[in-house]
Structure 1
Amino acid sequence: MGVSILNIMLKLQDAACSLQDTVKSLIPCLLQVKDKEEEKNCPHRIKQTKNRKTIVINCRECEAGSSLNDPQCRENIFGILRREVHADCLVLSRLYERDYEGKSLSLLYDLAGFKGTVAAYRSIEVVPEACACPEKKACSLERKEIIASLSETVGTDPLKARLELGELIHKKKAGRVPETTSICLECSECFYSILNEIEEKISCFPEVQITRKSGKKIETLIKNTPGEITPASLSRNVSLSLSGAGKKQENNRQENERKENQRQENERKENQRQENERKENKKPDDNFFAYESRIKSHVRPPFSSSRIYTEAPENTEFLECYDINGREGRNLEVTIYRYTDRPERLYMIRPPEYNLRQEELRLLEKIRRKMIRHRPKDLAFADPTGAREYFKRLAKDLLGEELLESGKACSPDELESYADLLARYTNGLGIVEDLLSDARITDVYINAPADTNPVHVVMEGEECTSNVFLSQDDLDALVSRFRTISGRPFGEAVPVLELNLEAFGVRVSVIGDPLSANGLAYAFRKHSLTPWTLPKLINTGSISPFAAGFLSFLMDGQASVLVAGEVGAGKTSLMTAMLLEIPQKYRILTIEDTHELPTEQLQTLGWKVQGMSSHSSVLKSGAEMSPETALRAALRLGSSSLVLGEVRGPEVKVLYEAMQVGNTGNSVIGTIHGSSVENIYERVVHTLGVPPASFKATDAVIICSGIRPGGSMKKLKRVSRISEVAGTSIEDPEPSELFRDIMYYDAAQDCLLAGEVLEQGQSELIGKIALKWGISIDSALKNIELRTRIKERIAAEGDRSPFLLEADAVSEANNMFWLLSDSKKAGNGGFEADLGASLRDESEELYRQWETWFENFSRVWDGAEKKGNGKRGSEKQLAQEKLLGKEKQLPEIKITS
C-alpha cells in the first residue's frame, strides 16, 4: 500500500515537472509574440492627468507618412486605440503636434472597433446544419473566406472593408447571385441577412471621401467631422493674417457658400458616376480613402501644449475683428463672434506661431531644446523682468549661431520676433500673455479642470468664452514660476497662492487641491498699465464731470472716504484717480495685502508715497505683518493721508479710533466690499464692531456698481451713489437717518445727478471743508464748479490727444491749478472776496489763466508725442522747459589737442 502511494506521488511529481517544462517552453514564444506585436505598433506613451488621458504617438523617427491616409500608420493607430481604451486625446507627434479629440477621436475609436465587430462573425454558422446539398462544404468555405477577408481588411482599412461589404449586398440586390433551388435561395438569404446585420451595425458611421487611384473622386463615405470639442481645426497651409473686419469675413462666407454649393453639385455627379461604375461591376481595389479629408485634427507647434482652435463653430455670427500690436512687433488678430443659441460671445485669438513654416518650426524647436538644457548660474528667477530679458538674449545668441552655421538668412526684425517667442514659451506666460496684452480685457479666468474648460475673459465688462484650452503641463509650469516669484508656499497644506506680476500689470490668484478638487484654477485681474485719472473715468462714463470736480474737492479738503462696491466694480481704479487729487505737498501712506495701487508711478510723478504690506486676507504667513500691526505702525509715522487697500478685519477698530481722535492727521481713504451705503454701515458697525459714534468720522461713502443697461449681458462700471455721513445727534441712528445723497445714478440718462442736499446747498460735508478753509459755502461751490470745468476740458481734449488723460499730464494740470490758486490767494492777501460778482470774476479769471496754460501745454506735448519715437521722457522735459521759459542751450564743445 505504501509503495503504491509512493508511486502515485512520483508520477504526479513527474507530471508537474513536465507541465512546468511545457509552460517554460511556451513563455518565450508568448513573449516573442508580444514583442512582435509591440514592434508592429508605433512607440507611444500615456499622459494621465486627473481629468484627462492622452495617447502620444512618437512619429519623429517614423519613415511612414504619419497620416491617417497612410495604411501602415492607420493600422498602427487602430491597434493602439484597441489596446488603450477610453482616451480623451490622441496626439501624433512629429514636426507639428496633431491632436485628435472629441468627435474625431470618437470616430477613430469606432473605426478601430470595426475589426472586433466583424471578427465576432467568423465563428457564426454561415450554412444551415440541415442543408443536404453537395455544395454545402464549398458554400461554407466560400462564405467564411468572405467574412475572414472582411475581418482582415478592416484592421488596416475599415472603410474599404465597408465598401466591399456594400458591393456584396448590392450584387445580391441586383440579382447577380444565381440561386438554383428554393433551398439554396433560403440559404443565401440567411447569409445575406448576416451581411445586412453587419452593415446595420456600422451604418452609424459618417461618410468619408473616396478617390480612385486615377485621381477621380467618386464617393463620400464620411461626413465632415470637426477635430475638436467645440470650435474647429487648423491647417498649416491656411494663412492667419486676416485683415480689416466684417467686409473680408462676409466675402469669405460668400466664397465658402459658393464652394459648398459647388461641392454638393460635384458630389451629386460623382454619385451618379459611381452608380454607373457599379453597373459595370468594377472592383473597389483601386480606391483611395482620404480619411484626413473629414477626420480633422488640431495642429499646434510642439513648444505649446495648449490648444487654440482657429475656426469659429457653426452656431456663431461674426461681430468684429481687430489687431493687437504686442511687444517686439508681435501682431495678433482677435475676432469676436456671437453665439446664436445662447447669450454669450466667443473671443478668438490667432497667435502667429500656430502658422509657422516648417523650416521656422524646425529652427525654433532646435533652439528651444538647447534653452531647456541651459542652466544659468547667477540668474535671479524671482525677477520676472530680468529672467525674461536673460532668456531672450540667450535665444537671440543661439539663433544667431545656428543661422551662421546653417548659412540661412534672417532679418533683425524676424530674429527679434523669434527670440521673444522662445522667451515667451520658456520663461513667460505663453499664450496667457497674448490674452493679457489686449487692452479691452480686464480679467482672465481659468476654471478647473482647465484642459476641458475653455479660458474665459472679461472684455469691457462682458464675460466671454474663448478658443483657448490650457494644458495641465502649462498650468503646472505657471504655478511653479509663481511660487518662485512670490516666495510663498503652495501645495495641499497651503492650496491658495496670491501675487502681483508687475511686469504684466496683473494680480494672480491660484487655488489647487484640495480647495479645487478638479485641479488648478487661476484668476488674472489686470491693473491699468498707467494710473487711472478722473478725466479718463469721465470719458469711460464711470463718473460725470461734476462728480469729478466734487471728488477732487473732497481729496483736496482732506475728507475721509470709503469707496465701496462689489468685486470688479472699479473701486481701486477710482481710488487711484482720487489719489492724484491730493496735493503733492502731502504725504501718503498705503497699506495693502496685494499691491494694486501704483505707488512707484506716483513716486515718479512727485508724490510722497510710502507703501506698506500686510499679510494676505486668505492665508496668513508668519513672515508678514497683520493689517492691524501695519496700521498701528503707520499711525506712528507722522501726519499723512492714510490709504487702505481694503477694509475688512479687526484693524478697522484701530482705524476709526485714530480717525475719531485725529491721530491720522489728514484724510483716510479705503475700499470695502458692499453694494449700498446701508450694507456698508451694517458691515462696519455690526459685523466689524465699530461703534456708531466712531463711524461718524467717515465723511462720505462712494458706491461703485456694475450696471447692466437694459438688462443686457454687458456690464458698465459706474459710480452709482455719493453719500455724506450726517452729523446726527442720535446715538444709534438708522442708515436712512445717517446718510444723505449728494449725487445718485439715473439709469435712464446713464449719469450721476445732484441730490437734494447739493441742490439746496445744505451739504454738511461741503460746509465742513469750507469751514476748514475759512471760506463761505458759495466759495466752496464755486471751487467745485471750477474744478468741474477743468476736468471736463481735460476730458474733451483727451478725446483728441489721449496722452492728456494720463497721470503725468493730469498731475501737471493739477499742479498748475494749485499754483494759480495760491498766487491768486496771495494777491488777495489771503482773504475771500465779499461780493458774489467779484467771486465769479475771480473764478473766471483763474480758469482763463489755467486754460491759457493748458492750451500751450497740450500743444507742446502734442508735438513731443508726434516726434517722440521712444524718447518721450526727454521730449516731456523739453516741453516743460519751453512752457516755463527755461529752454536751455546746449553747451559748446571745444576740441583741444
Structure 2
Amino acid sequence: MRSCPGGGLRRWRRVSSYVIEPLDPERYEVVEEYEVTPYAKVVIARDRLSGAYKYFVVEEPLTKGERRLVREVMDRIKYLAVKSETCDIEGLVKSELRKLVKDRRKRGKLLYYIRRDYLGYGPIHVMMLDPNLEDVSCNGVGIPIYVWHRKYESIETNVVMTDVDYLKSYIRSLAARCGKHISSAFPVLDATLPEGYRLAATLEDVSSRGPTFTVRKFRERPFTIIELIMGRVIDPLIAAFFWVMIENKRTFMIFGATGSGKTTLLNALLTFVHPSMKVCTVEETREINIPTKNWVPFVTRETYAVGERIGEVSLYDLVKVTLRYRPDYIIVGEVRGAEAYVLFQAMQSGHGGISTIHAESLESMINRLLNPPMNIPPQLIPTLNFAIHISRVKVGGKVARRVLSVWEIHSADSFRKLAEWDPVEDAFIHYLSSSEILARVASQLGLGKEALWEEIENRARLLEYLASERVVEYGEIVKWVYSYYSDPEGTLRRVGMRARPALAVRAAKLREEVRRVLSGREEVKSVPKPRSKERAMRVKEQIFSKLKVKR
C-alpha cells in the first residue's frame, strides 16, 4: 500500500465508512509480515516511539478502472441472481469475470475484492482469514479494531470504523449471517457465524461508545489430544488417567479464565469416549465434537417476544430433557446458572457428567457452584470427582497454555491435588496414583489399585508413542483409541510394546485358569499365588463368581 504525504486522517485511505492507516516506515519498524491471500498480507510493526506492536492489513489497491469493473460485475450479478435457479453467487461472479477480464491475475484480484466486500467480512475480511488470530474486536466508532494474536497477544490494528450508521448496518449483516436478529428491542446478540466462530454484539442502546462486536475465532480443525501433548499443554500420564476415568463414567469440570483453552481441552479429552456410550451435549453455541455416533447434540434457542419467554429454550430446559434420553454422559459446554443444579442431580443419579466453568482458582470455582445462580447444595459437591485448571502462561517469553493442576474433590472444603505444572522445568509433577477415586474405580472393576495404575501407564505409553510419531489427525487418533478398547494387548504389540504384567499376564492367567476349571481339567488351587491374602481372596472370588454364572 502506498503512503500518502501529509499527516492526520489525510494520510489514511478512506474506504466507505471505515479508514485504513497505511504503514509509515518512518514511524513503524516492521517486525514480521506474512501473506494471507495473494492480494493481501499482514504486517506486524513496532512503533519506534512507544514500542507498541500494531497489526497492519496491507492490500493491493484497486485502480479506478478496476473499481468500475467490480461495480459492473455486481450490477450484472443482481440481475442474474434473480433469474438463476441456483444460489451459487460466487460461481456467477467467476463466470462474469471470465467474460470481462482476460488477465488471470487481474481477474483474481477483482474476485478477492468482490469476496471481501460482497460475500465476505468487509473491513475485517483479512483478519477473519488470518489463522494466527483468536479474537477480532470493535469497541465502537472512531476506535481502532483490536485483535488477539497468538504470538503478540492483544494488539491494535490499522482499521477504524468511522460511521455509526455503517457500523450498525454491519452488525446487523453479521447477525443475519447467523440467522439471528439484533435491534433496539433486542440490543444484545450472542450467536455463531457459519464458520463456527462465536459472535457477540451490542448496539448503542447498551454500549455508550456506540455499537460493538467481538468475533471469537476457532481453528478450522480443533486441537487433538496428541497435539496438546506435543504442545506440553497436558502430558501423556494425565491424559491416560482421564482416559480411564471417562471410560468409567467419572465426572469432572475444566475451569479457567476466558480464552484459557477450556473448550479445546474438553474436546480433546472427549476423544476417549467409549464407542458404546450414549452421549448428550448441551451448548449455547456448537463447539463440542465427539467421535461416537450415539451422540445427541442440543443447542439453546432465544426468544424475540418482548417481555416473555415464549419459544425460548434454555440450558436448564435442555439439561432436563437429556435425562429422558438415558445418556451415559451429559456434557454441558459451560455452566453458569440453574442448569448446573440439574447436571449435579443427574451425576448424583449415576450419569457421567462433564462441563466447563469460568473461575481463576479451585476455591472460586467451588464458591460459584455453591452460590446463586447455581446454588449447588454442599452435599452434592462430592458428586463432582475431579477439577482441571487450565490457564494461559508465559513460557520462554511466549504465551502458551498449560494444565496448571488436577484436583480430586472430596467435599465442598476438602480436595486433593493429583498433579501440578512446574513452571521452572515446564513439566508436570504427579500424585495421580494416590487418588481415592482411582482405588474406587479399581474396586468396581474387580482389580487392585496397582493393576489399574499399570493400565493407565500402558495407555500413557501408547499416547506417548502417537505423539512421537506425530499422529495428529483426529480420525487416526480415534482409530487408535477404538483399537485399544477392542484389543489393548494387540494394539500395544502393533507399536512394539508389551502390556505391563498387571492387566496382561495376570489377567491372561486368570482367564486361562477359569477356562481350565470350567473344563474340569484342573482345580482352582493352580491359580498363581498373589502377593497378599487380600488379593488371593479377590482372585478366588472372581473365579467362583464366574463359575456360578456358568452354572
Question: 1:609 is matched with which residue: 273, 278, 295?
Answer: 295
**Given the alignment, which residue of 268, 272, 276 partners 1:577?**
268
TM-score w.r.t. length of structure 2: 0.81
Deviation string 1:246-267 (CA, Å, 9 cap, x unpaired) is xxxxxxxxxxxxxxxxxxxxxx
Cα distance per residue 1:840-867 (max 9 Å; x no partner): 999xxxxxxxxxxxxxxxxxxxxxxxxx
* Residue matched to 1:489: 181
Q: What's the counterpart of residue 368 of structure 2?
A: 683
After superposition, give the CA deviation of every residue in 1:372-416 in whole Å (9 maximum; x if it has no partner): 67763799xxxxxx96xx221232233244x2xxxx5233x7545
- Residue in 2 aligned with 1:671? 356
RMSD (CA atoms): 3.4
CA distance in 2, matches of 1:620, 1:448: 30
Q: Which residue of 2 aligns with 1:778?
A: 450
Q: Which residue of 2 aligns with 1:225?
A: 6
Distance in 1 (CA, whole Å) between partners of 2:190 and 2:173 is: 12
1:298 aligns with 2:12: yes
1:423 and 2:115 aligned: yes
Distance across 2 between alignment mates of 1:520 and 1:689: 35
Answering whether residue 400 of structure 2 is matched by residue 716 of structure 1, we say: yes
Deviation at 1:314, TM superposition (A): 4.0
The letter of the residue matching 1:321 is E
| 1:706 positional shift | 2.0
Give the alignment of 1:26-37 within 5 angstroms. Answer: none
Q: Give the CA deviation at 1:820.
A: 2.0
Matched, 1:348 2:56: yes
Counterpart residue number, 1:339: 47
Select the residue among 383, 387, 408 that pairs with 1:697: 383
1:367 aligns with 2:73: yes
Equivalent-residue separation in structure 2 for 1:650 and 1:835 (angstroms): 44
Alpha-carbon distance, 1:534 to partner: 1.1
Q: In the aligned structure 1, how far is the partner of 2:390 from the partner of 2:287?
A: 17
Aligned to 1:409: 102
1:320 aligns with 2:27: no
SS of structure 2 residue aligned to 1:580: helix
Structure 2: runs of 5+ lacking an equivalent: 493-498, 510-551
Kept in 2: contact 1:645–1:670 (CA 8 A): yes
Q: Distance in 1 between matches of 2:81 and 2:107?
A: 23
Does 2:208 match 1:520? no
Give distance in 1, aligned partners of 2:390 and 2:303: 22
Larger Rg: 1
Matched AA of 1:364: V
Q: Deviations over 1:590-626 (max 9, x none)?
A: 101122223xxx4xx5532211122469999632312
8 Å contact kept, 1:319–1:336: yes
1:497-508 counterparts in 2 under 5 A? 497-502=189-194, 504-508=195-199
What is the Cα deviation at residue 838 of structure 1?
4.0
Deviation at 1:787, TM superposition (A): 2.0
One-letter amino acid of the structure 2 residue matched with residue 424 of structure 1: R
Contact 1:569/1:705, CA 8 A, preserved across alignment: yes
Letter in 2 for 1:721: S
Aligned to 2:89: 391
CA positional deviation for 1:455: 1.2
Matched, 1:568 2:253: no
Structure 2 CA distance for partners of 1:716 and 1:778, relative to 1, 3 Å = same
- Which has more helix, going by share of residues? 1
Q: Which residue of 1 aligns with 2:21?
A: 309
Q: 1:691 and 1:432 mapped to 2: Cα distance? A: 46
Q: How many aligned residue pairs are there?
A: 498
The structure 1 residue matched to 2:441, chosen from 766, 769, 787, is 769
Matched residues in 2 for 1:414 and 1:820: separation? 57
Q: Does 1:739 align with 2:415?
A: yes
- For residues 625 and 753 of structure 1, do their structure 2 counterparts lie closer, same or farther at Cα, with a shift above 3 Å needed? same
Counterpart position of 2:427:
751
TM-score (norm 1): 0.51
Distance 1:318 1:773 in 2: 61
Label 1:476 to 1:378 Cα distance change in 2 as closer, same or farther (>3 A): farther
How far apart are 1:321 and its partner, in Å? 2.0
Deviations 1:647-700 (A, max 9, x none): 1111222221221122x2xx2110111111111111112332211111111010
What residue is the counterpart of 2:338 in the other structure?
650
Structure 2 Cα separation of the partners of residues 572 and 669 of structure 1: 11
CA contact (8 A) 2:451 2:502 kept: no
CA contact 2:255–2:365 (8 Å) conserved in 1: yes
Aligned equivalents of 1:621, 1:789: Cα separation in 2: 52
Corresponding residue for 2:130? 438
3-state DSSP class of the match of 1:678?
helix
Aligned partner of 1:670: which letter?
S
Distance verdict in 2 for CA 1:378–1:570, change over 3 Å: farther
Using the TM superposition, give the Cα deviation of residue 541 of structure 1 relative to its aligned residue in structure 2, in angstroms.
2.9
Post-superposition offset of 1:823: 6.5
Amino acid paired to 1:637: Y
Checking the alignment, whether the CA contact within 8 Å between 1:564 and 1:673 is kept in structure 2 is yes
Q: Secondary structure at the match of 1:494?
A: coil
Q: Which of 222, 236, 247 is the aligned partner of 1:531?
A: 222
> How do residues 192-231 of structure 1 correspond to structure 2 at under 5 angstroms?
225-228=6-9
Q: Is the 8 A contact 1:543 1:751 kept in 2?
A: no
Letter in 2 for 1:480: R
Task: With a CA cutoff of 8 Å and minimum separation of 6, indicate the structure with the bigger relative contact order.
Answer: 2
Pair 671,620 (structure 1): closer, same or farther in 2 beyond 3 Å: farther
Following the alignment from structure 1 to structure 2, what is the Cα–Cα distance between the partners of residues 708 and 833? 37
Same amino acid, percent of matched pairs: 24
Call closer, same or farther: CA 1:351–1:686 in 2, change over 3 Å: same
Instruction: Look up the equivalent residue of 1:311 and give its one-letter code.
Output: L
1:99–1:299 Cα contact (<8 Å) kept: no
Question: Quick one: structure 1 residues 743 and 314, their matched pair in 2 at CA, closer, same or farther if it must change by over 3 Å?
Answer: farther
Q: Aligned partner of 2:113: which letter?
A: L
Shift of 1:642: 0.8
* Partners of 1:491 and 1:651 in 2: CA distance: 28
Partner of 1:633: 321
CA distance in 2, matches of 1:391, 1:635: 44
Aligned-pair CA distance for 1:337 = 2.0
Q: Distance in 1 between matches of 2:43 and 2:227?
A: 26
Q: Deviations over 1:118-147 (max 9, x none)?
A: xxxxxxxxxxxxxxxxxxxxxxxxxxxxxx
Cα separation, 2, equivalents of 1:340 and 1:782: 57
- Displacement of 1:633: 0.8
Alpha carbons 1:443, 1:523 under 8 Å: kept: yes
Q: Distance in 1 between matches of 2:502 and 2:323?
A: 42
Shift of 1:363: 1.6
Q: Deviations over 1:92-124 (max 9, x none)?
A: xxxx9x999xxxxxxxxxxxxxxxxxxxxxxxx
Query: What is the identity, as a one-letter code, of the residue corresponding to 1:460?
Result: R
Which blocks of at least 5 consecutive residues in structure 1 are unaligned?
1-95, 101-223, 229-295, 380-385, 799-803, 826-831, 843-897
SS in 1 for 2:485: helix
- Tell me which residue corresponds to 2:145: 455
Q: Is the 8 A contact 2:121 2:128 kept in 1?
A: no
- Check the 8 A contact 2:147/2:155 in 1, yes or no: yes
Alignment CA distance shift 1:581-1:838 (3 Å): same
2-side partners of 1:595 and 1:705: how far apart? Answer: 22
Contact conserved, 2:484 with 2:491, CA < 8 A, in 1? no
The verdict on how the C-alpha distance between 1:418 and 1:568 changes in structure 2, with shifts beyond 3 A counting, is same
Is 1:624 aligned to 2:325, yes or no? no
Alpha carbons of structure 1 residues 620 and 824: separation in structure 2 relative to 1, 3 Å: farther
